Structures are given as C-alpha cells and as structure tokens.
Chain A
C-alpha cells in the first residue's frame, strides 16, 4: 500500500477532491457539534459521582376529575420520614433554589447570585469539595452561608472569606465555607448554600409547612446501592397514606431517578410520556447522522461520476494481475485519506465554530482532543465516513471489466451506477426538503404563539424582586413610583404573571357542580397589578384597599373562565372561599389572559387576592416614550429610598416570555442551522455532478451549438435532468414533511394550520438554489466555443 501515491492521485483531481473534502468536513463539523450537544444532554447530571443512586421525590395528584398532575416537588416532612423509617435510604436533602442579593457587611456593593437553601446532607450526596471550612461544621451557626469558589473570589478576591458577613433582607449570614464550583452540566447550579431551616422559617410565616400535602420544595434522596425502586415506591405510597390520611388518597409520592430527569421526566396523566427532552435529543442525533450521510453521498456520487478517469487504472492493474480485493483496498485507503483530511479540517472548524455555536444556542459545550470520548467519537465518525463513502465506489470501480476499460468504452454511461447516483441525489434533496419544511413549520408555530394575544401587555413591563421594606409599605411605594413621571402603572404580585400556578386546596362557591375538582390558580397581589400587567376588566373594578367591606376585606378578582365555571355565583358581589364560613367577595372580573400553558386554547381559572405582604415581585409598566434605562434608573432610586444598597436588577417581561419557549427556540435554531448546512452540502455535491456531466457532454453540446442551439437551450438541456430529480424529491418529501409536521403540531392545542404554501415555497426555494448551482457549471459548458469542444477526443 503506497499512501504517498494515493495522496498524489487525490490531489491530481483538485476540484473533485476539494468538493469532497469541503463537503465532508462541513458534514463532520455539523454532526460533531450536534453530537457534542447530544452528549451533554445524555450525560446531564452524570458528572455527579454518585448520580446513579440519587433520586428526586415527586408526586402524582389525582383531582376528582380531570387529568392527573405530576410534580417533582415534595413536602417538608418527607425527608425526615424517609430518614427515620427507611433503611434503604442513605441520606435525604431538602433543596430550594433562589436568586438573592447579598451585601457584604460594611460595604455598599451588592451581588445578585443564584443559590439554594439545602440540608447539609447534600454536600456528601452530590460530592461537593470544600476549599475552606469543615464539612461537619459549616451549617452549625444559625445564619451560615457557604460560597462557591467563583462567588467567593468575586466578592473577596483571594482573601479567605471565612467569618465574613453577608447581609440579605436584614439578616447577616456568616461565611463558614467555600466549595469548588459545581460542574456545569448538572441540576445543581448554585453559587451559595444556606441551611434549609432558614427557608422553613421564611415559609412558615406564609403557610402551614407541617401539612403533608403542601409541596413546595425538592427532596433529593440517596439510596443504598441495589435497592429495588418499585418496592420502595410501593412502601412510600403506603407511608403517604398513613401520614396524610384519607384526605390525600389522591396523592401518591414516588422517587424518580435523577439521571432520567432531564431526558424522560415528563408525565401526562400519571404516565411517563416518553417525550420530554429525549425526543429533541434523539431527533437531533438523527439529524446529525443524516448530515453525515448527505456528505458521504457527495463522496460516493463524485467518485462514481468521475469513474471514467479511474477506469483505465483499474483496467491496467487488473490486466497485470491485481486481484479485485486489492483494488477495493486501494479505494478504501483513498476514501480513508480523504476522510482523514476532512476530519483534520473539521477539528479546526469545530474549534473555530464552537464558541459561535455555544452563543447561538446558549450552551457551554467544550471541545478538547484530550477528552477520550471526543477522540473516540471523531474516530467513529471517520470510520463511518470512510466505509460508507468509500465502500460503494470501491465495489463499483473495482468491478470494471479490464477489457472494456482498456478499449476506453464509456463505462459510466447509463447502467446501475447512474441510477444509484440519481437515487442518492434524490435522497439528499428529499432530506434537505424535509429539514427545511420542518424548520418552517416550527418557525411559524413559534411565531404564532409569540404573536398570540395573551391578554397581558409584555412591552415596557419590568419586574423587580421585592424586599420586606417594600411590601410592608406597598401603597406608599406605588404612590412614589407613580409620582416619578416615568411609570404608567405598577403593582405587587406573589407570582410571575406568566406562570402563576400556586396549587391550593379545593375552593367552594354556591351552586358548585359536585363533579368540579375546584382547582383554581391563586395569586396574591396589590392594587394596580392588573393595570400594570395590562389585564383588562370586563366587569367591576380593581381591588381597592381603601374600600374595604364590613368584614374589613378588599375582595378578590376572578377571570372570565372562573366566572363561567362558577355559573350564577360568577358575578360582581358573588362569593368564593375555601369553606362555607370563609368566603371572599368578588369585586372584579378579569378578561381572560393566558398563563402557564400557552398552547391551551382556553386559559385556566385564576383568582387574585389582595395581600401585598405575601408578594415577591414588583411589576412596573414604564411609559413608552421615555428612554428605558433612564426610567429604570428612576425606579431604582425610589426603591432604594426604601431599601438602600439593594441592587434591584430589572427583569423584562419580554425576556421572561422568550425564556418560556427556550426549548422551542432551541429546536428552531438547531433545525434552521442544520437545514441550511444540509442544503449547502447537497449543493456542493450537485456542483460536482453538474461539472462532471457538463464535461462528459462537451462534445454533444458542441455539436448542438453547431447545429444552432442557443445558450438557453443548452442550459435547459442540462438542467432538465436535475429538475426531474428535484421533482421526485419533493414528491417523496411532501408526505413525509406533512406527517412530521402534523405529529409535531399534535402536541399543541393552539397551533398553525399546515398549508400547501409552506411546501410549495420550500420546493421553489430549493429548486432555485439547485438550479443556480447547476447552471454555474452548465453555463461554462454552454458558452464554450463549439469548435474547441468538438475537437476534444
């Protein structure tokens, strides 16, 4: 085997080799980027040493009617019960993440960081490593806090922070430890940890945390190795029944493997849907393989198309006694060489494009040739391409009859190779068509949702986290904000407006249908909130704390859906409550607005109470004609007059809204990117093929021109063959795209109607691109001087 000689052969035909190598390199790069992303999702949480034995507590809730609701939250009592009564359980940790603002003692700087309240059992469970602090002591002081290496450095530089104080909401937390930054790709993304008991204290003020049915936190459970999960979950179900009694018969607690959370943790009506992230991940894995396939097809097509050039060599070698298997080997070595060059090129391309790719889809993937998984992955891709791309040409070329090739017969004209080549082109363009159609369907669906009138005005709406000083003097804050002149409307809210599902016990009203599960989403607000959010009233007025009824209450707001559900009682002056004795008067009926499920055709029921002390967020609608950053500055000044030294970072509702569709946007971006790449690679192949066929037909074109054919006739002649192939691609692609589109849209109640425009538009687009590609070469052939072309041969 003479590698140097093979390299020379490859570089002799520069155009073809260049097309092959560039096509393959782009294909490999695309596939590698996809596979890197897929790998990060598949290995989510696996960076935690013991992740196999870690579970998260979840529950199914079966309301009287309607679908079962599954939530990965748990109550405050479960951890202790598991620790006490279950020998299979090694340890339990309660966990709730939150973003807090800390001010280092005796300074005026503030730091807003994501962190969590957790039990100290979490440290060992997820393998945290401490740089400073004694693991058994760090949570001993009542108000203690431990920081990540990054956060400690950000606040204290290289100083040892042990013993320093961090202030949040009036409490001073003593830094007792510093831990190594958590790995990126896990559920545990926190920069600080505070003992969970602090969270308990805070929540206790709001509701009874001793209730078995009150689920508001996460419980992580580490089991001893080899525990039968099913048996344990049965036991857990019984415990749940014992603890909660018959009231919570419809409430089933179970443990769910941490490693499965991201990919499979999606339930519908009490059953794993098999959907979840795994669907997206598998889909893109498939797209990665398809793109490799498309790139390999280029290779096959170009090699067989220019087989005439290699035929003589095959003939001579065979004549002088080289057996077929050695020829096959030689062609495989050549494809291996081309793949290797492409692979090297793509390593460079991955390096260059990864930061852009990360930016584009908002991830932090890393690529290092020191990582054995990546090296093995690249080798597998290389072998895949070598054999897939090389085997067909090797088998085809080596099968030539030496006699025929030596006589210089037209060996590649017609015959099975041409058929296969055309079939492969059809395959490439069918795939490109399907990918592009899918991208458009996804894009249109996302546009539809984003343009949907959700009954909330998102523009100019900004929210801030609220401190105790603010909600304790809510009316004064609101007044001062209105007086700045930059604020149109403002109000406090306990929940985000876009996802406000606070689960509560059943509600009652007069004339309630006994079949109705009376599940209502509840929010606590101040006056002015609905105005700020842009929610319209169809009847009654906003809550007004100055106009209390004889019971001293400001009344409640309900939405249209709830009003309809309540029947006669769903009116101004109607009453709703948690028991016959404890009821509130309805003062306003809100026009329906969409929250939680943006694909639902009809919004869920919503109920707003007046209770500023329970609120967490301040929503401010800025006047549209004022510069945003100036307006926010003025709002912050007002807020800081109540709570000095607090950062009050604004969150824009439009960003919040976009974040809800992160996964959809991701799918949209990925599919758009790879659809473009797929069509690009396919066109590279087409460019090569058209060059080849123009070259093969040089003489024919010359004769036709002598006989009076015009350039346009020649272009049409050469383009016609490809038009037929494209048409076949579309005929196959349309039903497949239609099916895939329908399947995709099935998950959304509020969705676009698939119209022919999409398919016809995409078909025209591809035709245009393909014809441009083809005519580039054909034009060259068509305008060539016929006298010259006839003389060749």
Chain B
C-alpha cells in the first residue's frame, strides 16, 4: 500500500537547516496497522504529513498504491486525499460552527455527490461511531471522546483505504482513549490500513507493528501480531 524510499525532508530558515526526515524508508502493507513512536522532533509528524499528501518531501520516493506521489500539484493531491485518505488529529479539529452531521459531511462536499447519497454515507459513519443520536449537536456540546468519535466518523465517511491518526488519544482520558483505540482496531479489522503516530505504549500495542524513530529515521521495529492473511 505505502512504499517510501530514501525520503528526505529538510526545513530551511535563513540560518538553520533542520533535517526532519533523513533517508527514511518504510513499507506498509494493505490492511496493516502500524504505530510510529519516538521522542518529540524525531520526524513522526513530518512523515505523517508526507504520507497524507499535506507536505512534499525534499527528495526520495513515495508510492501510494503503486503510484508515485511526489511532485503532484495541489489539485491532484486534493483529489487523492479525498478519495484515499482519512485523517484523525490529536486536537480533533472539528469546526465549531458546524453540527456533528455537517462536520462529518465535509469530505463529501464539492465532488458532485448527490445529497441523498451523502446523507446515507454520513449516517453510516455516524452509526459506526455510535453517535447517531448526536447528529444535530455542535462540537462544543460533546465530550472529548465523543468529539474524537465524530472526527473518526469524518475520517471514514468516504471509505478511505488509509487512515492517518496523529496521537488520536492524546487529548483524552484513559476510558475515552480505550474506546477510540477499539474503534480504530475495528476499522482495521474491517480492512482499512491505519498508520498512527503515538506517544503511548499502551495504544501502540493495538497495532501489528511498532516503528520507533529517532532523528528522522526508523531505528527499531517490533512485530506484535501477524497480519491476517487476505485474499488480495
């Protein structure tokens, strides 16, 4: 599903050059759940941004489903993001002015989808995060755990093949954190590939494989479970 080779990302300001990713290579198989860990500033988030097509590497290759992703223009990347990738953030990033329903509907807008189909998809996503009864609430009226569930519903509403989660439980208490991790696991079980950045050992243990990063490259890998055999 994801194959990156010799990926470098260098940030330059007037005087300082910061290497965020240093010849990083990584391979994520379809249906895999990968957790990425490491200290602050090790390049985890940069990696996730590049995987999510929000950022371009300085050099190297990134193949998503066998297609080269580097050097695409913004419009093309927009389309690819909408069609393939769902995002979950630590700070939820829900829009205050929109209802739960509307927040989830966001990724379906402006792509020529009929309103009835959109409604169906949003309802399906709402159901899968068990928030059907909160559809007309505003984010501020929900608990943190509920907000993150809305964010997950938004991430899956378009049936993406890949979910990128950036410390999804970072702002939650342990009980709510558990629920979110269960949700991600069940999504993965249903066939969605998940790449998750986390600081939490506990959360990381939900994955198939933990990649530890330091100074812009992976240092160790822990295989926790076998990836279940799939026909494709």
Contact surface of A with B, Cβ cutoff 8 Å: 2, 5, 8-9, 12, 312-313, 315-324, 326, 402-403, 406, 408
Contact = CB atoms under 8 A, between A and B. Distances in A.
A312 B96 CA distance: 10
B97 interface: yes
Interface string B17-56: 0000000000000000000000000000000010010110
B97 to A, nearest CB: 5
Contacts of B82: 320-322
Given A12-B97, A320-B82, A402 B110 contact: no
B182 interface: no
Q: B75, B95, B111, B154: which has the most chain A beta carbons within 10 Å?
A: B95
Contact of A321 (B55, B81, B93, B98): B81
B49 A403 contact: yes
Contact of A326 (B55, B79, B97, B110): B110
A321 B54 contact: no
B83 interface: yes
Interface stretch (B101-109, B141-149, B184-192, B208-216): B101-109
How many residues of B sit at the interface, in one of the four size bands? 20 to 34
Contacts, number: 61
B54 A402 contact: yes
A765 to B, nearest CB: 40
Contacts of B49: 403
A319 B87 contact: yes
Interface of B: 49, 52, 54-55, 74-75, 78-83, 87, 89, 91, 93-98, 102, 106-107, 109-111, 154, 158
A9 B52 CA distance: 28
A312 B93 contact: yes
Contacts of A318: 78
A323 B107 contact: no
B54 A319 contact: yes
Contact of A316 (B55, B78, B106): B106
Contacts of A317: 106
B75 A320 contact: no
Given A317-B106, A319-B81, 12 more contacts: A5-B97, A8-B97, A12-B97, A313-B97, A319-B93, A320-B81, A320-B107, A321-B81, A321-B107, A323-B79, A326-B110, A403-B49
Contacts of B89: 406
B82 to A, nearest CB: 2
Nearest to B89: A406
Contacts of B91: 408
A14 to B, nearest CB: 13
A326 B94 CA distance: 19
Contact of A320 (B74, B87, B96): B87
A9 B94 CA distance: 14
A321 B85 CA distance: 9
B110 A316 contact: no
A554 B122 CA distance: 106
B98 A315 contact: no
A323 B75 contact: yes
B78 A322 contact: yes
Contacts of A12: 96-97
A319 B49 CA distance: 10
